[in-house]
Amino acid sequence: MTPGRRWLGVGVVITVAVIALALFLGRPDPRVLPVDPTNHFTADFGETSSLYSGVKYAFWATATLLRWGTLIGLLVLGGGRVLTTIMGRVSNRSSVIAFGTMAILLAVLALVTLPLSYASGYRIEHAFGLSTQTRWAWLLDYVRVRGFWILVYSAAAAGFLAAIGRWPRRGWVVAAGAGIVIAVFGTIAAPRIIDPLFHDFTPLADRELESEIFELGDTAGIDIQRVRVMDASRRTRRLNAYVTGIGATRQVVLYDNLVANAPREELLLVVAHEIGHQRERHVTRGLISTFPGIVLGAWALSALAGWRARRDRMLDGPADPAGLPLLWLAVSVALFLSSPISATISRRMEAQADWISLELTRDPDTFVAAERRLAEINLSWITPPEPVVRWFYSHPPVLNRIGMAEYWRTVREDPAPSSRSAD
């Protein structure tokens, strides 16, 4: 078989496996009853929320195409070589040239998409009453967050090229191993080292509420360990909560907006959902679910770098940083194409956490009230098209979540009071 045919075969097998996996994982949840949207949301809200979501997706799609277009343009015009030549004047060390080339490349992409990010992240958020930021605060955030990730990705790119340069045949194994170690370390360190770079976290001021939260954890048989409140209101009116960290760094984080605006029983319901994540070890399982992607990605990128180096005489081997625009384009497209898998894994975990929150609180009315409040304030799309859900949604759409509470009612809530004591 010619190498071209073999690659085609590998591509087809991976594509079919990915689609089969996404379809298998994405099969409808039997624990969801159909829900009439008009019972929960006004037609006006339905229109506003679909307008908001439609505009946000349109901006996202435009920015993605612009990013890919810029990378293709750089590829065609030999931009990678221009960047390495600039870096070659700064240093003659290959790791510095690789780091600098990637950093400039990512800075160019951040600059090219800045107007779209500004329109989507600042103007539209304000137009729909979600943002609480000033223009300059938004811009400072953009620079800080992008700057941080540019440093991280540039270091990763330099490390990857060093590995495949040092060990041309098996360098990808070293890169994959290092990638997994970094993912594990990053997940453990995130709550204490990475997140505090961008947000302030404080203990819960309401001690009574805190002890109720810990009691709820005891009921679920888990040690909550730590609850922190994030200063989200400096940026947004959105309500949210999440779990993060592994082992000693494990914690539940509540948005200050949620603590300030949600009634106590709804707040506890949200916490019960986060307890569900902790009990099922979703952070650890989510981390492990990225390992096959890291290994496959390292192998595919190494193969792509080798293929290009054999074809393109301008490149000085697979580890030449001038090849980075193509590699980054491949990473970006692969992340987009694998999105249905990561989104589906996430949606299943979220549904599981919802179910546990219902089992723990046994209060479907509060569950529905909390879902409605979150959807209304966060402008959640009430009736997103199924393909959008499958491709992008990390959480089940709000009507599915309400539908799960309705299902829970039918199987757990006994209509006859006499039999309730036997439950």
Q: Which residues bind Zn ion (CB under 5 A)?
A: 350, 353
Contacts of 410 (CB under 8 A, 6+ apart): 33
Nearer to Zn ion, 83 or 353 (CB): 353
Q: How far apart are CA 69 and CA 92, in angstroms?
A: 30
- The CB-of-45 to Zn ion minimum distance in angstroms stands at 23
- The CB-of-277 to Zn ion minimum distance in angstroms stands at 5
Nearer to Zn ion, 88 or 286 (CB): 286
Q: How far apart are CA 80 and CA 72, in angstroms?
A: 11
Nearer to Zn ion, 132 or 346 (CB): 346
- The CB-of-286 to Zn ion minimum distance in angstroms stands at 11
- The CB-of-250 to Zn ion minimum distance in angstroms stands at 15
Identify which of 56, 49, 58 has the alpha carbon closest to the alpha carbon of residue 374.
49
User: What six digits make up the tokens of 286?
Assistant: 């989510």
Q: How far apart are CA 330 and CA 101, in angstroms?
A: 17
Nearer to Zn ion, 81 or 282 (CB): 282
- The CB-of-243 to Zn ion minimum distance in angstroms stands at 8
- The CB-of-270 to Zn ion minimum distance in angstroms stands at 9
What value, to the nearest 5°, has the Cα angle with vertex 61 and ends 57 and 64?
Answer: 135
Nearer to Zn ion, 83 or 349 (CB): 349
- The CB-of-366 to Zn ion minimum distance in angstroms stands at 16
* Beta bridge partner(s), residue 201: 230
Nearer to Zn ion, 35 or 269 (CB): 269
Alpha-carbon distance values, 131 to 260, 304, 313 (Å): 17, 42, 50
Nearer to Zn ion, 350 or 376 (CB): 350
CB 124 within 8 A of CB 133: no
Instruction: Report the SS3 class of residue 28.
Output: coil
Q: How far apart are CA 217 and CA 277, in angstroms?
A: 11
Nearer to Zn ion, 83 or 351 (CB): 351
Nearer to Zn ion, 80 or 276 (CB): 276
Identify which of 385, 290, 270 has the alpha carbon closest to the alpha carbon of residue 334.
290
131 phi/psi in degrees, rounded to 5: -90, 145
Identify which of 291, 170, 177, 186 has the alpha carbon closest to the alpha carbon of residue 245.
186
- The CB-of-71 to Zn ion minimum distance in angstroms stands at 33
- The CB-of-242 to Zn ion minimum distance in angstroms stands at 7
CA R_g for the chain: 24
Contacts of 179 (CB under 8 A, 6+ apart): 156, 294, 297, 298
Name the strand (E) or helix (H) holding 166: helix 135-166
